[in-house]
Chains A and B, each alone.
Chain A
Amino acid sequence: MMAAANIKARTGMSEKQLFDFAAFRFQDAERTGYSEYSYWKSVWRNFVKKKSAVIMLGVFVVLFIFTFVAAAIGKYDVNNLRIVDSLMFTRPGGEFWFGTDNLGRDYWAQVWHATRTSIILAVSVSAGQILLGVIIGMMWGYVRKLDRLFTELYNLIDNIPTIIYMTLIALMIGKSYFIMACAIIGFGWLATARNVRNLVFMYRDREYNLASRCLGTKLWRILTKNILPYLISVIILRLALAIPGTIAYETTLAYLGLMDISTPSLGILLRNARSFFLDYPYLLVIPASIVSVITVTFYLVGNAFSDACDPRNHV
């Protein structure tokens, strides 16, 4: 009764009014706690929270821009390097900012050119792999008739270390950058495709796809509207992780002599440094640090992104 007296004071309603029937408002009954929640907004918010990934991403962008600046401010042009025996293994200094290699060529020009080459190679190869992998994976997962074919193909290729295929291709077709890039793509889509296929399997028989089929929705529209949006996070994650993977793979191929040495890439520089680095560590340390910066960046970015995509973390 005390409470009622209080309310009267607060609302100005008489006791009688308080116990009258109130009007029914349809809109209030249908009220849906509109939570302003948006999936991608939450992903972005969570991603930005990972300071290390954001900073490294900034560093990477600066690094890539710098590869162009470095060529411009350097004293030597990478296309006009002369072999001078007397200058070999010059340590970094005023004339040669990163020193010279075993043939006396300026290392600064080579390193930055190689960085740019490697980044472009890694990004384009990764993008190619993922694109091919997503397309094949979606077909593989959604079209039942293709499952058998792709599964056999996958097992056939996956049973043997890819390095064997790469060696065969390099020695029988050629080791030019273009061929090797195609070869890496040609064998690199497998993992993505399998991953995508398994995800498509998860979504394929969901009722909303059945609903689309009942509405006569065409295959491509089901794939792009009903399936692809659910895969975006996985695709971006795989892309981010494929970049360091490709760089590491390229260094391995270069080390095994399966890459064309006429275009310097970070892999080629590391391979060349292999024989001398105990005495001239700068030859290894400089390209190795750059490789590490790039790869760690994409690893952090990829993992931060994958965490940010997990709806369980959207709290």
Chain B
Amino acid sequence: MLGYTLKRLLQSVFTVLLIVTIVFLLLRLMPTDYYFTEDELIKLTDQQKLDRLQAAGLLDPPFTQLGRFYRQLFTKLDLGTSRRIQVNKPVVDLIAGKFSISMRLGLTALSVSLALGVALGVIQARFKDGLFDHIGTAYTIFINAVPPLVSYSLVLTFGARAFGLPSLYTMRKPGPSSILPIICLAMGSVAGYMLWTRRYMVDELNKDYIRLARLKGLSTGSIMFRHVLKNAFVPLAQYLPYSVLLTVGGSLLVERFFSVPGMGPLLTDAISRYDTNLVQAIVMMYASLGIAGVFLGDILMTLIDPRIHLGGKEAVR
């Protein structure tokens, strides 16, 4: 168990480094102009630029630069400074300032949608083919079928017009101005949790052990709660750590839509403005979170499902 955990951990670190390396090398393919701030590009002469690049070692062969990058990362935990989004601010600080906003929104939305989604899914499964089941299914179809941009616009129009809620996020009033973004974040995942809870519960209900539970004389209610719900929740639980960790990354679309100054838009902004150090740092963050999420999910599975032992066959999610 311990040996396997270590092996998986090493593997994960390797994967992260692999991704970071690929991205790092890709970024070196871009024109060197992007290493300067917009101001500098105008003011500096070509010779000055060249000198600066030389001094910063940016004209060295890519692999030399890669070595230097990793040296700095491992010795000083230094990922460099932002050159464009916030000039000369260390990217670590820049990210630190933003991720808490995203995480707060994300975790709230996650807890709301988990509670609501599982509860509604249970009701759907319990009264399968009833009215509520059909309404729930219609809702999941609506959410999945209508592009998020359209449904967010609906929420925005309705929320702003009918309830007078702020249509943009402000740091001064984080409470009320978070409501619409959280609704938008949650309404999709509620549908997801509903759908899967219902599907897994219905699957479990058809299993042989449910027949034995009925044969014992248990009532439908206690079968639902004592047997079905827990078993149906197991496959859902595997994705929970992943979902929790990814809230750090924020939601690109929602944050852009409501102008939330979170992590979501940071990466696309960084890429579109060619802030290479920031891109590297964010890619690394996403990769680590993603891999850690899967890893923790597997660990969680071993804790709640006695049949699964780490070190067994690695499952593809």
Contact = CB atoms under 8 A, between A and B. Distances in A.
A–B direct touch, CB within 8 Å, in complex? Answer: yes
Interface of A: 151, 154-156, 158-161, 163-164, 167-168, 171-172, 194, 197-198, 244, 247-248, 251-252, 255-258, 267, 270-271, 274, 277-278, 281, 284, 288, 291-292, 295-296, 298-300, 303
B149 A270 contact: yes
B256 interface: yes
B150 A172 contact: no
Given A274-B149, A295-B146, A296-B146, A151 B316 contact: yes
A154 B316 contact: yes
Contact of A296 (B141, B252, B316): B141
B272 A171 contact: yes
A238 to B, nearest CB: 14
A111 to B, nearest CB: 14
Contacts of A198: 316
Contacts of B19: 156, 159-160
8 contacts: A156-B18, A160-B290, A161-B246, A171-B272, A256-B253, A296-B145, A299-B141, A299-B144
B160 A278 contact: yes
A151 B253 contact: no
A189 B175 CA distance: 40
B153 interface: yes
A111 B150 CA distance: 16
Interface in B144-181: 144-150, 153, 157, 160
Given A160-B19, A257-B272, A278-B160, A167 B147 contact: no
B26 interface: yes
B29 interface: yes
Contacts, number: 112
Interface of B: 15, 18-19, 23, 26, 29-30, 141-142, 144-150, 153, 157, 160, 246, 249, 252-253, 256, 267-268, 271-272, 274, 283, 286-287, 290-291, 294, 314, 316-317
Contacts of A274: 149, 153
Contact of B15 (A156, A164, A256): A156
A216 B19 CA distance: 42
Nearest to A298: B145
Contacts of B142: 296
Nearest to B144: A299
A106 to B, nearest CB: 22
Tell me if A's interface is mostly helix, strand, loop or mixed. helix
A299 B195 CA distance: 14
A244 B267 CA distance: 26
Contacts of B149: 248, 251-252, 255, 267, 270-271, 274
Contacts of A161: 246, 249, 252, 286, 290
Question: Which of A160, A167, A194 is most buried by chain B, counting CB atoms within 10 A of its CB?
Answer: A160
Nearest to A288: B150
A270 B26 CA distance: 32
Contacts of B30: 172
Nearest to B206: A312
A292 B144 CA distance: 10
B291 A278 contact: no
B24 to A, nearest CB: 12
Contacts of A271: 149
A161 B252 CA distance: 10
B272 A167 contact: yes
A244 B271 contact: no
B193 to A, nearest CB: 18
Contacts of B317: 158, 194
Contact of A159 (B148, B287, B314): B287
Contact of A167 (B268, B287, B290): B268
A105 to B, nearest CB: 21
A256 B314 contact: no
Nearest to A291: B147
Contact of B256 (A255, A288, A299): A255
Which among A161, A257, A298 has the highest number of chain B CB atoms within 10 Å?
Answer: A161
Given A168-B26, A248-B148, A255 B294 contact: no
List the 9 closest A-B pairs by CB distance, nearest first.
A159-B290, A248-B147, A295-B145, A299-B145, A251-B147, A288-B150, A296-B145, A167-B271, A251-B149
B271 A151 contact: no
Contacts of B267: 164, 167
B249 A284 contact: no
B286 A164 contact: yes
Contact of A292 (B146, B256, B271, B291): B146
Contacts of A291: 146-147, 150
B230 to A, nearest CB: 24
